[in-house]
Each structure stands twice: as C-alpha cells, then as structure tokens.
Amino acid sequence: MNDHDNSPAWNAGWATAVQRPSVGFHPNWAEEGFADQTVRQTVRVTGSGARARIRLSNRYGTAPLEVSGASIARAGAGAAVAPGTVRPLTFDGAASVRIPAGGEVHSDAAEVSVAALESLTVSLHFAGPTGPATFHAQAWATAYRAAGAQLGEVDPAVFGETSVSWYYLAAVELADGGPARRDTVVLFGDSLTDGFGSSVDADRRYSDALAERLSAEGRPLRVLNLGIGGNLLLNDSPWFGEGAGARFDRDVLAQPGVRTVVVLVGLNDIGFSEVDLPTYRPAPDNAADHLIDGYRELIARAHAAGVRVVGGTILPFQGSEYHTPVAEAKRRAVNEWIRTAGAFDAVADFAAALADPADPDALRSAYDSGDFKHPGDEGYRVMARAVDPAAL
C-alpha cells in the first residue's frame, strides 16, 4: 500500500512487537478500545530521515478498524509537540483508513525531518468505537488520550489521560532520499529486551543504551526493540504475546534492512513452571534441550534469510520467584550451550556482565531493579556494553 508517493527507499526508524488485547502488567486501554478519542504516542527513532511513514496494526482485531485521522510531529515534552511541525498523515491519499481484521497498513510519506535518537509523536483519532485494541503492553513510555479529534493540538493539557502502553502503532519508517540500507539490528526477546524495570519516559532500555553507544562510537546502526515482557521461546501466551518462534519472521526478518538479531529469550520458559500463577500459563516443564532446539530453529531461519544471530545468555535470577535448584540448573545448561556450542554467530554474555562476583547465580545489586531478575537503568547500560559492536 501507498507506493504512489515516488517510492522512496524506506529504512527502519522505530518498531515494537504487537500483542493481543489483555489487562497487562499496568492498567491500559487495550480491552476497552477507543471511541471519539485521540491517542498521542511518542517514540524515539534510531535513524534519521526527511520523510516518515507509520505502520498501523490491527493484527488482533476481530473487526475492521476505522482510523479517522492521523498526524506526525516532532516531539515536545510530554504530550506537547514542537510548534509548526505537525503533519497530517494520509493513506493512499485519504485522511482516514479502514484496516481489515488481522491486517496492517502503511501511511503515505510525510515531510518531517528527524535526526537519530530524536523523538517523533504520532497522534491517532478514532471517531467510532474501535473494540479491543492491538497493542504493546509494556512500553515504558507514556501514551496520552484526549476526547475528540485533537490531531493538531499543541496544548498538552488537552491530553488528560495517560497509559504506559502503545496502541495500534507498530513502526515508524524513515527515508532520506538515499537508498535502502542494510543497517538494522533487531533486539528480540522478553522483558529483559522490552526494558522492564527501566525508568518510564527516560529511554533507558538496553536497546536505547546500545543505540547511544553505537552512535557515540561512530558505528550508527538502527536498533529496533522487538521484546515483549513475559514472552516465551516455546509457547504462546494470552498475556505475553505469541511465542518467539511464531513471531520471529514478522518481528525480526521482515524489518527493513535487518542484518543482525540479538536473541535473549528463555527466562520465562524456565521460570513460569516454578510458580503457580494464572498469568504464568502455559507453563510446561521445559528441559534445557527443548530450549536449545528452539534456539536452533531461530538460528536456522535467520541464516536462511541472510541474517546474523547473536545469542544472549540468560541473566541470573536468584532471589526471584522463579528461582529453584531445578530452574538454576536449566539456566546454567542453556547458558553453557550458548557460550560453547558455536551455533550462534556471536555471543553477548549478559549473565557474566551482570552477575554478582560473590554469587554468580544472583544479579549484582547495583544492576538490579529490585525484583532480583530485571536490571534497572544502570544494569541495562551494562547489558549494552556486553554486546560487541563488531558482532553486529
């Protein structure tokens, strides 16, 4: 769709993995959806461009989605936008678009200039009831909601309701007049990639820290975060998204210009079976060999597409609800295979980088967000330093 606009070469800017509507870890608007409301969402891009387009997803909708209008702007503080930068978005030349159930659409190109590591704000107006919304539960960024059509509104006070999820917005792509480039690195996995425990609205996930590091070192690559909190390698979850294998092609291999993927998943496959919670289901007792088979499948699919794969070791989680002798034995076995089997093109040894030197089964306290299994902001910076730029 929408290739009539002189067919610019599109490169990655920002993306997220969408999920079916659910209550989620934080209160959100996914199950209720929207009606005569505008949702404003801000994302930080890791590439530059003079034109932008968005990709909207109704993947988990059970009926067509009517998007009454959309706009894009350079971001201001909070719900504010930079004055004079709001651009209406069209879809095949029309101000509105109907997205079939299960479908996605790209907007037309809009003239908006943005540099790498700057932020863009996308506003979406829904005139009629949308029904439950395809979304990304754990954005670690604030989304804003206002009554009525507020696509060009510059007064942030209009947007009086907030959430920390993203809705319908799956990607922002950028064009700069040059060719499409193979310079995208996808970080793929669970909450450790998604950024659980990082500071809201501060861009402190490990994906942010890695993009900043690469830029500072003169190796500017486009870094996309396709993590989903609670995601599993081997199973789908009604709360935490389709399993890694089920979503790998669309969330990794379909990204513009992808050259490398960093895979960090398996924590929940090990931990869910140790805790009896409704949200931690399905929770089969997976042997380490089952996880290794799952990794091998992802590696084979990436290599078939000409994409390099970096394997990330699973972080220590002693002290968390996941930790038992059985779970620890699985983590050690999986990490030993990741480090020594040679199946991955390279290894990012996150576990070694964040472990407590006095107790390698535990996170170092300075890196712990407080739940013994997720890093805080400093821990995510250390994770970014554990990735060898040459491996990307």
* pLDDT surpasses 70 at 6: no
**C-alpha span between 215 and 239 (Å, rounded):** 35
Q: Is the pLDDT of residue 54 over 80?
A: yes
Domains and CATH numbers, the chain: 11-175 (2.60.120), 184-391 (3.40.50.1110)
CA 121, CA 244: separation in Å to the nearest integer?
A: 29
With 70 as the cut, is the pLDDT of residue 13 above it? yes
- Rounded to whole angstroms, how far apart are CA atoms 260 and 136? 23
**DSSP for 362-390?**
EE-GGGB-SSSSSB-HHHHHHHHHTS-GG
pLDDT bucket at 229, cuts 50 / 70 / 90: very high
Query: Residue 4 — very low, low, confident or very high, per pLDDT cuts 50/70/90?
Result: very low
Q: What is the pLDDT of residue 23?
A: 87
pLDDT single digits (tens) 173-187: 999 999 999 999 999
Token pair belonging to 220: 């500017």
In the structure encoding, which two tokens stand for residue 235, read together? Answer: 């199973």
**The predicted structure's pLDDT at residue 184:** 98
The predicted model gives 373-380 an average pLDDT of 98
- pLDDT value at position 116? 97
Q: What is the pTM of this model?
A: 0.97
Task: Decide which of 3 and 159 is more confident.
Answer: 159
For residues 374 and 197, is the Cβ–Cβ distance under 8 A?
A: yes
| pLDDT tens digits for range 266-286 | 999 999 999 999 999 999 999
Give backbone dihedrals phi and psi of 204, rounded to 5 degrees, phi first.
-120, 20
CA distances from 283 to 190, 254, 273, 275 (A): 15, 29, 5, 9
Strand-pair partners of 311 = 263, 347
Strands 184-189 and 308-312: unpaired
Mean pLDDT of the chain: 96
Judging by DSSP bridges, how do beta strands 355-356 and 346-348 pair with one another?
unpaired
Pairing of strands 346-348, 308-312: parallel
**CA dist 199 to 1, 195, 274, Å?**
37, 9, 28
Interhelix angle for 206-216 vs 377-385, to 10°? 50
Predicted pLDDT of residue 5: 45
Instruction: Return the percentage of the chain with pLDDT > 70, whole number.
Output: 98
Q: What is the pLDDT of residue 58?
A: 98
Q: What is the mean pLDDT of residues 157-180?
A: 97
The residue length of the chain stands at 392
Give the CA radius of gyration of the chain. 20
CB 190 within 8 A of CB 267: yes
Q: What is the pLDDT of residue 1?
A: 42
Name the one residue in this structure whose structure tokens are 């909601």: 145
What is the distance of C-alpha 247 from the center of its chain?
A: 12
Alpha helices in the chain (DSSP H): 191-194, 206-216, 244-248, 267-271, 288-304, 325-340, 350-354, 377-385
pLDDT at 26: 83
- Are 363 and 372 spatial neighbours (Cβ–Cβ below 8 Å)? yes
3-class state of residue 184 by DSSP:
strand
The token pair at 138 is 């754990």
**101 vs 24, 58, 126, 241, CA distance in Å?**
22, 6, 16, 17
pLDDT tier, 2 (very low <50, low <70, confident <90, very high otherwise): very low
